[in-house]
Amino acid sequence: MNPQTFDEYWLGYLAGHSKPSTRFIHYIGLFFAPLAGIAASFLVVW
């Protein structure tokens, strides 16, 4: 793993998130993560 400056990291981050497939996966995660949390709160016996 190569150390990076913040600027190098940020440019790579923006390049990765400019792809529609990456954004789509994030949208799916943003939708299903809260649903999984709500379901777990009802289904998990504490």
Using an 8 Å Cβ cutoff, are 22 and 16 in contact?
yes
Positive or negative CA dihedral for 9, 10, 11, 14? positive
Name the amino acid, one letter, at 13.
Y
46 has pLDDT over 80: no
The predicted model scores a pTM of: 0.55
Residue 18: DSSP 8-state: T
pLDDT in tens, 6-42: 999 999 989 988 999 999 999 999 999 999 999 999 9
1 has pLDDT over 70: no
